[in-house]
Structure formats: structure tokens, C-alpha cells
Amino acid sequence: MPKQAKPATGVTRVLFVCTGNICRSPLAEAIFLRQAREAGRAGEFEVDSAGTHDYHEGERADARARRVGAARGVDVASIAREVHDSDFDRFDLILALDRGHLRDLRRRCPEPLRERIRLLGEFAAGGDVPDPYYRDQKAFEQVFDLLDGYCRRLLAQI
């Protein structure tokens, strides 16, 4: 896959999106930020996360997500919010964590901006990131590992 083009501002604005913004997308945001810092590239990115729904608006990330992050040296500190229409214009790259989110985002997004919306797994020749919400801590650990690899490959391409 070719490298993602850099915006004229020099800062790439990245939004990770899952359903309620308390499990997968906050983990992806925190993992990507850590990887960018470790690579000396933190200043190249503005990173956020959001949900396709407002189920958990204003809440901290799920305790299991925060626990797995803390155990692996990643601070999962985001507060849940829903995707806003303004996000489609504001962010250069909007990364859906699964194909359902991809469909929802593309349906909501104005046609000229839809090319900004991608499946995170595309950057790693992978697929959907499974939702660990109704599962145990082990599922969160597996999702962390998957996101760690996906984000590493994403960082190498943008």
C-alpha cells in the first residue's frame, strides 16, 4: 500500500473510531501516540478517538482497556465522545476499527471527504479489530496486541 500523503500543514490529524469510544478506539489512540513519541514523530500528529454512537459520551475508557494499557506502559486517558459532522472536515485520516464503523462513517460523511475514511486494518493487510466489550480481560489483551501491530504499520505508512 502506498504511503498516505501528508497534508499541507505538516501535521496529520488522525481519528480512530469504534462503536462507543471506550474500548478499541481509545486503545488505538493511546498506542499510536506512544509509538509516534517513541519514533520521535509526536509533533507530526494530532490524534483523537470517537464513537459512532453516544452510548458512553463523557465516560473514561473501559477499566479493562485502561488496565491493559497500564500493564503495557500506555496511558489510555481519553474521554468518550461521538463522531461529530465537523470531524469529517477536521481530520485528514479517519480510521474505522471494523467494517460496520466504516459503513456508518461513509454514510454520514459528505461525498468529497469520503476518501479520508479507511479501515485501520487496511494499513496492516488485516481486517476488523474485534470488539472485546462483552468478553474478558484476555480479549482486551488480544485487541491490544492486534492494535499495537496495526498502529505500528500505520505509523510506517504516514
Catalytic residues: 18, 24, 131
Task: Compute the distance between CA of residue 96 and CA of residue 90 in angstroms, rounded to an integer.
Answer: 16
Interatomic CA distance for residues 140 and 67, integer angstroms: 9
* Dihedral pair phi/psi, residue 42, rounded to 5°: -55, -35
Separation of alpha carbons 17 and 21, rounded Å = 7
- How deeply is 20 buried, as exposed, middle or buried, from its count of CB atoms within 10 A (0-12, 13-18, 19+)? buried
Q: Of the candidates 26, 23, 7, which has an alpha carbon nearest to the alpha carbon of residue 15?
A: 26
Classify burial at 69, counting beta carbons within 10 Å of its beta carbon; exposed 0-12, middle 13-18, buried 19 or more: buried
Cα–Cα distance for residue pair 44/65, rounded to 1 Å: 26
